[in-house]
Chains A and B, each alone.
Chain A
Amino acid sequence: MGVTQRLAGLASGILIAAPLAFASPVRAQDQSQKPVPEANTPPTAPNNTAPSTPPTNAASPKTQNDTEKQSTDISSLIKDDNQWPMAAKNYANTRFSHLNQINKDNVGQLRMAWSFSLGTPRGQEAAPLAVNGTLYVVGPYAGVHPNQVFALDIATGDLKWSYAPKPDPAAQGVACCDVVTRGLAYDKGKIFLNTLDDFSVAIDANTGKELWHTKLGDINKGETITMAPVVVKGKVLVGCSGGEMGVRGWLAAVDEETGKIVWRAYSTGPDAEVLIGKDYHGPYDWLNGKDLGVKTWPPDKWKIGGGTVWGWISYDPDLNLIYYGTSNPGTWNHEQRPGDNLFSSTIFARNPDTGMAKWAYQPDPHDLWDYDEINEAIVADLTIDNQVRKVLIHPGRDGFMYVIDRATGKVISADAYDYVNSIKSVDLNTGRPVLDEALTPSLGKTVRNVCPASPGAKDWQPSAWSPETKLLYVPHQHLCMNFKTSNVGYIEGTPYVGADVDMFAGPGGYRGEFMAWDPVQRKKVWSIKEKYPVWSGALVTAGDVAFYGTMDRWFKAVDAKSGKELWKFRTGSGIIGQPVTFSGSDGTQYVAIISGVGGWSGAIAVAELDARVRNGALGFTGAMQDLPAVTVGGATLNVFALPKNQQKAASAE
């Protein structure tokens, strides 16, 4: 453990074990990747540390060794900072890269290397994947070829192949919040695509040929798929969207070789279908009991109870647990579904081999406001009260930053990171939120000024965690709303919402923020207020630069320590995508993001919505009605790099 110990010392009390796959020496053996012990070793220094060396958390950039066969295994690719092999970069979901050719001193020189138009006008939430010199991108379910996949050469920008699934355009009618996709997955020479109309497809990463496709859901039930799949131990993990459609949410594991469904875990219903067995231990009393997924609902309501799985999946190989959150319960009118409504708005820990649940924690029992808890749960080890704790950091949709013990599901701390009045605090003894009862909606009455609004203080847009600064970089929004419920009938294949919502800017008049949060000190370190919600993901690198995009068409780089703006670039359309970084075979560090406004927040600028009717887009129109005056839709992949002379200077440092 020499390397780890050294780093732990450097870390001044806070140890970050990421990427966690390193923890297993057995897995590390068959990898071509060669971990570099020192975090600040220049990328040109090859290192042949024996693979059996105990794991390190500091995968350093390295040049590719041409004599060795390139690894195609996801568990080794995630440790290679030349690659960006999954949407969240690694199983820990850190979105942190050790690449430091681009750093805070030279980022101001960043230039566009090349760009590529995806030919679609709707929202671009996907992360590009960079694997062994090729960049894989996917477009939303719009345009001539919905969910089209493109493979591009990183160094030249040449298009290698493209793949278009066979679409059922009616799927657009059951996709609640624009027809987005959040990205692809890669493992063993295959690209995995989920289509909006519920297909999971495997494509040969070299040729673009289809290997298999499997239908996982039914649009007539309101099921769609928007999430980026994650491959864990040969299984493609895919969940469905449709929490606004009376869908019964599930997460499925699909065999990556055959396309067969290995297991499917529902979020509601009897234990046998939620995959709750004797290994399950709820962190609090109220989360233990038989068939809670049935008993915490009025009879049969769990069958249309939401709890869909459309966000991020993280994985701790040590504990062999995957972590993910489930969506809001259906309907938005809480009076139609008395009870805690388990396991909606819940964070699950499951065994990826069997799907069996280990624990489940519900931050928002009996959700009142559409607070999905699908946001990322970042795997990190923090030193809290002089104790190293294995935690999940979960920036909750309800505006609270949850730090959770990832072995048990118990909440260690929960603090508001934006203005919140719907929840006063989180009771750490019971794990339950303390609500402001005065704001509880009742049928037909308008409740005013509820903060955060339905998209929460933060929606799907993923944060980045730097093990160097020990800060979490959180893109989020700052919105409040008026909310009025109505009774709604369930009609299969139509929405099941039951609320009129009207959102607007929160206190101070701004609508978004990019902030750095210290999860140990439990406070905001710095923040940048933005006019519009920051609906893009975040990226942070060892060069101490954090990247994010804004809906008014800026791609920005800021100092990871101070938040000082270092560079910005005006893109063709607003940004709601995920910034990524990687190296090409030419040794150049690239930063890439797909611009193209849309999503729930940006639908007003790309879909046929009316800015003058505030209740549109489930109320988001109210908060975004001036967006069409600054941007329209249009998807472009933007790839940036330093000029050649700057690259050399950086490498020589």
Chain B
Amino acid sequence: MRFGKPTIVTLAAGLLMLTFSAQIFAEDKPNAETNNPEAPPPTSSSDAGMSTISPEQLLKVPVSGLTPGAVDARPKLNLPPIDEKAAQRGMENFASFNCVGCHMGNGGGGMGPALSNHAFIYGSSPENIFLSIYQGRPNGMPAWGTVLPEDAIWDLVAYIKNLSNAPVSQWGSTVSSTSPAIEQVPVEIKAGANPWQYTQKFSKGQKPQE
């Protein structure tokens, strides 16, 4: 098969355009998901990505599952990005601001409740978790809103979303001599922003496998 010069030029141009548009697509996608046109730079939570959302708006997010008149009043808010980079920063904040002291490594719970399962007393939506950190909660959760920048709290929310991402095998939960079947690889062996990636056989209080 023989190509004339014009054919090759056209083909090349077409390829170029394809690549270009694919790139645009790729760049658009995360933004579309997080609804944030200006994602923060990778190493900082605090620069361009200053959250555009105010605690006042968040107050409109209900904590109760009961709404008089059965009207679903949950507002649609443009939240800051809750992604892996935010979770990574959130993991650092979790240690720096002593969250780990109460909720413990990988959020297993201690003085404060576990964050490693799907149960959240004051709501499990990102808005609920943000406000729990921001306002504190009466049974011992300190109010961090006056101390931490809001972006730092959003990063914590992203990390907590990762922590609570436990695998689910059924709707309820069974505890018995054979259940649960798995446990996390403990943090002193493997640390990371997504601890449920690493699991092993449930050790029943014995020395874990390595």
CB-based contact B116/A613 at 8 Å: yes
A159 an interface residue at 8 Å Cβ cutoff?
no
CB-based contact B111/A173 at 8 Å: yes
A538 an interface residue at 8 Å Cβ cutoff?
no
CB-based contact B111/A615 at 8 Å: no
B110 an interface residue at 8 Å Cβ cutoff?
yes
Q: For A625, what are the chain B residues with a Cβ–Cβ distance below 8 Å?
A: 183, 202-205
Complex CA–CA separation, A624 to B116 (angstroms): 17
Chain A interface size band reads: 35 or more
CB-based contact A615/B188 at 8 Å: yes
- Asked, given contacts A171-B140, A610-B114, whether A616 binds B188 with beta carbons under 8 Å apart, the answer is no
CB-based contact A493/B139 at 8 Å: no
Complex CA–CA separation, A501 to B104 (angstroms): 9
Please tell me which stretch of B22-30, B46-54, B94-102 contacts chain A, meaning at least 4 of its Cβ atoms lie within 8 angstroms of it. Answer: B94-102
Interface 1/0 per residue, B11-39 and A, CB below 8 Å: 00000000000000000000000000000
Please tell me which stretch of B78-86, B153-161, B174-182 contacts chain A, meaning at least 4 of its Cβ atoms lie within 8 angstroms of it. Answer: B174-182
Q: How many A-B residue pairs have CB under 8 A?
A: 170
A15 an interface residue at 8 Å Cβ cutoff?
no
Among A170, A505, A612, A624: residue with most chain B CB under 10 A: A612
Q: For A497, what are the chain B residues with a Cβ–Cβ distance below 8 Å?
A: 100-101
CB-based contact A615/B101 at 8 Å: no
CB-based contact A176/B111 at 8 Å: yes
Complex CA–CA separation, A511 to B205 (angstroms): 9
CB-based contact B186/A482 at 8 Å: yes
CB-based contact B119/A608 at 8 Å: yes
Q: For A174, what are the chain B residues with a Cβ–Cβ distance below 8 Å?
A: 111, 140
A483 an interface residue at 8 Å Cβ cutoff?
yes
Complex CA–CA separation, A501 to B105 (angstroms): 9
A299 an interface residue at 8 Å Cβ cutoff?
no
Q: For A624, what are the chain B residues with a Cβ–Cβ distance below 8 Å?
A: 205
Complex CA–CA separation, A192 to B210 (angstroms): 50
A292 an interface residue at 8 Å Cβ cutoff?
no
A169 an interface residue at 8 Å Cβ cutoff?
yes
- Asked, given contacts A494-B102, A500-B105, A617-B108, whether A170 binds B140 with beta carbons under 8 Å apart, the answer is yes
Q: Is the interface of B mostly helix, strand, loop or mixed?
A: loop
B208 an interface residue at 8 Å Cβ cutoff?
yes
B63 an interface residue at 8 Å Cβ cutoff?
no
CB-based contact A244/B208 at 8 Å: no
Q: For B176, what are the chain A residues with a Cβ–Cβ distance below 8 Å?
A: 629
CB-based contact B117/A169 at 8 Å: no
CB-based contact A482/B113 at 8 Å: no
CB-based contact B101/A495 at 8 Å: yes
CB-based contact B186/A615 at 8 Å: yes
B90 an interface residue at 8 Å Cβ cutoff?
no
CB-based contact A488/B110 at 8 Å: no
B55 an interface residue at 8 Å Cβ cutoff?
no
Interface 1/0 per residue, A542-583 and B, CB below 8 Å: 000000000000000000000000000000000000000000
CB-based contact A614/B101 at 8 Å: no
- Asked, given contacts A172-B140, A483-B188, A489-B96, whether A613 binds B101 with beta carbons under 8 Å apart, the answer is no
- Asked, given contacts A609-B114, A610-B114, A615-B187, whether A173 binds B108 with beta carbons under 8 Å apart, the answer is no
Chain A to chain B: the 8 pairs with minimum beta-carbon distance, closest first: A173-B140, A495-B101, A616-B108, A613-B108, A615-B105, A608-B113, A610-B114, A609-B109
27 contacts between A and B (CB under 8 A): A169-B139, A173-B142, A176-B111, A482-B188, A494-B97, A494-B98, A494-B102, A495-B98, A497-B101, A502-B187, A608-B121, A609-B110, A609-B113, A609-B114, A611-B180, A612-B166, A612-B184, A613-B109, A613-B114, A613-B184, A616-B114, A617-B104, A621-B104, A622-B205, A625-B204, A626-B205, A629-B176
Known A612-B184, A615-B188, A626-B177; further 5 A-B contacts with Cβ < 8 A: A173-B139, A483-B188, A611-B180, A614-B183, A617-B109
